[in-house]
Structure 1
C-alpha cells in the first residue's frame, strides 16, 4: 500500500512524468527504496549549495537520518555557517548578468564577494567567524592536538559562541544539524576555501603549523575505514549534487579498497544519482554518465543509476521534499 503523499510530493508524483522531471522522480523513489531496505547514503555537495540555502531542506534530512555521511567542498562547509551568522547582511543582485566591471569592483570595495546573484559580506561573515576559529586552531596547537577541518567547525558551533550572531532560524543550518549529530563529513581540498586560505596565512606568518590541520590523505584513510564498516547488507548509496572534488574524491574509495588494498569482496556503491549540468563530450569527469563509472570499479552493472541534467538548486530541494514527504 503506497503512503499518502503531502502537497509537494503529490505534485511531483502527478506532474513529473517525462525527461529530467521523470529522472528526478525515479531518483527520489530509488533513494527512498534504498533507505527502506536498510541502505546508508552519502550526499556530496559541490558548487555554492550552502549559499543557495540548501540547509532549509538538508538540515531536516540530517535530523531524520536520511543521510549518513556528507562530502563537501570547503566553501560549502563554511558558507552554511556564514549564512547562519550574517544572513541579514547578504546582498542579492538579481540583475547580476548586467553588472559592469566597475560595478563588480564597487561590490568588492564595499566588502561583498559575489556568488552568482548573492553577495557574501566579508566583514560580517568571514571576519566574524575568523576570530572564533583562530582561537580554536591555536588552542589545539598549544595542546598538541590535530583535527580535521570539519571537526574544528563542529567545535566552534557546539561551543555556543556563535549563538549571539544567529540571523536565521538555526534549524535551517545543515552544519549545525550535522554537528549536533556528529555526522561524518569528508571535506577534500579544504585549502581551497576562505578559511583554508586564512589558515594558510597564519602558517605563513609563523602563528600556526600546517600539521595542526589534518590532511586530505587522512580524510581518505578515515573514509576507507568508515566504508568498510558501513557497506554490509544493502550497502552505501551515493547522491551527488554537482561535480568536482566533493564527488570525485569520495567515490574513489571503492576502487582504492578493491584494487590498491586488494579487498576483493568490498561492495560497489549500491545506488548512484547525480544532479549535473556538466557536459560529457568535453571530457568532463563531473559530467560522466553513470555507466562510465563501471569501468573505474565504482559502480556495478546492476547498481541503480540516475542522472538528472538540471539545476541542482531546483532539483535537490524537490528530491528532499519527496523523501521528507512535504
Structure 2
C-alpha cells in the first residue's frame, strides 16, 4: 500500500505516549487484515453525530470493516445527519449555556449533543415517518426484522433520496446497507426511534411488540456470525468508546466457551479500544485490556491496545492510516 500525506504525517510525528499507541494499533489493524483477518468495529458515544461516516463509510466500502456493533443512537443519528445536516445547529460556546439557554433550545426543538443540536422535526420526525411505514408493513404481514434491517430497507427503497443533505458516500450506514454488512444493535430500546416504537405499540399502530427484533436475538445472530466467520479468519475487535456497544459483542466468546462448551471457537485475534475513561474502581470502559483475559474474552497473546484520547479525533486518524490516506 502506497501511503499518502496523512499516514506519512502520522508515522513521522506520532512517536510517543498516546500518539505512539495510535500508530501501533493502526499498524496492527493493517497487519491483521493483511493476514486475512476480519474486523468488528463498535460505536459508542455520539460518533454518528460527530460525522464519523466521513471515514468509516470508506472503511466499509474497502472491506476493512466486516461487522458493526453500535448503539441505537449511532444507528439512527447517521441517517438523521443524512437528511437534516443543513438544519443542525452548532453551539461552540456550549460550556457557558445557562439553564434558560437550554430551555430556549428545547423550545426550538433542538436536542443538544455537546456542541451540536439535532433538529427534531427535520431529522427525528422525518425518519420516524419513513420507518413507521416499514414497521406497520412488517407488522401487518406478520414479519419481524432487526432495527438495522428496517434502516437498510428505508435507505435501499429510495424514499429518503430527495431529502439527502450530504453526499450519501459520507453516510456509513448507507455504505453498510449497500454491502448488507452484519450489524448488531444491543439496547436499541434506549434510542429516539426505540422510544418512538414503544409509543406506536402503545397507541396500537403496531400490534405485535416483537415486530422489531432486539436483544437476545441479536446475541444469537452474533454467535452464528462469530462461529461462521472465525472458522474462516481471525476476528479483530476495534472498540470506540465503552458501554453496551462494546461489552455486548465481546461477550460472545465467553458465552460460546463457557455456556455452550464450544471451546474450539477461537478468541478475538486483535483488540483496540479508544477511550477517554480512566481506570477506576469497577469501571468497564476504563478497564485495561488485560482485565478481559480473566473473563475469557482475550488471550495472553492477543495483540491489544488502548488509546486514551478523544475518539472524535483518534478514530478518523486510525481509519485514515488503515486506508493509507
Q: Report if TM-score (shorter chain) is over 0.5.
A: yes
Equivalences for residues 130-209 of structure 1 within 5 A? 130-208=128-206, 209=208
Q: What's the secondary structure of 1:295's corresponding residue?
A: helix
Q: Distance in 2 between matches of 1:289 and 1:247?
A: 14
Q: Distance in 1 between matches of 2:232 and 2:186?
A: 27
Aligned residue number for residue 311 of structure 1: 310
Aligned residue number for residue 321 of structure 1: 320
Structure 2 runs not aligned, ≥5 long: none
Aligned residue number for residue 265 of structure 1: 264
Give 1:115 deviation, angstroms.
0.1
Task: Please say if 1:275 is aligned against 2:266.
Answer: no
Aligned residue number for residue 36 of structure 1: 34
| Residue from 85, 107, 115 that aligns with 1:117 | 115
Q: Distance in 2 between matches of 1:234 and 1:156?
A: 32
Q: Distance in 2 between matches of 1:178 and 1:234?
A: 20
Are the structure 2 counterparts of residues 106 and 243 from structure 1 closer, same or farther at C-alpha, using a change threshold of 3 Å? same
Aligned residue number for residue 47 of structure 1: 45
| Residue from 73, 76, 80 that aligns with 2:74 | 76
Instruction: Note the alpha carbon deviations across 1:80-116, whole angstroms, 9 max, x for none.
Output: 0000000000000000000000000000000100000
Q: Distance in 2 between matches of 1:280 and 1:192?
A: 26
Task: Please say if 1:89 is aligned against 2:87.
Answer: yes
List, as ranges, runs of 4+ consecutive aligned residues in structure 1 with deviation greater than 3 Å. Answer: none
Aligned residue number for residue 253 of structure 2: 254
Q: Which moved more, 1:232-241 or 1:305-314?
A: 232-241
- TM-score, scaled to structure 2: 0.99
Q: What's the secondary structure of 1:42's corresponding residue?
A: strand
Give 1:232 deviation, angstroms.
2.7
Q: What's the secondary structure of 1:281's corresponding residue?
A: coil
Give 1:234 deviation, angstroms.
4.3
Q: What's the secondary structure of 2:295's corresponding residue?
A: coil
Q: Which moved more, 1:314-323 or 1:199-208?
A: 199-208
Task: Please say if 1:128 is aligned against 2:120.
Answer: no
Instruction: Note the alpha carbon deviations across 1:148-174, whole angstroms, 9 max, x for none.
Output: 000000001000000010000110000
- TM-score, scaled to structure 1: 0.98
Task: Give the CA RMSD over aligned residues.
Answer: 0.7
Instruction: Note the alpha carbon deviations across 1:114-142, whole angstroms, 9 max, x for none.
Output: 00000000000001111111010000010
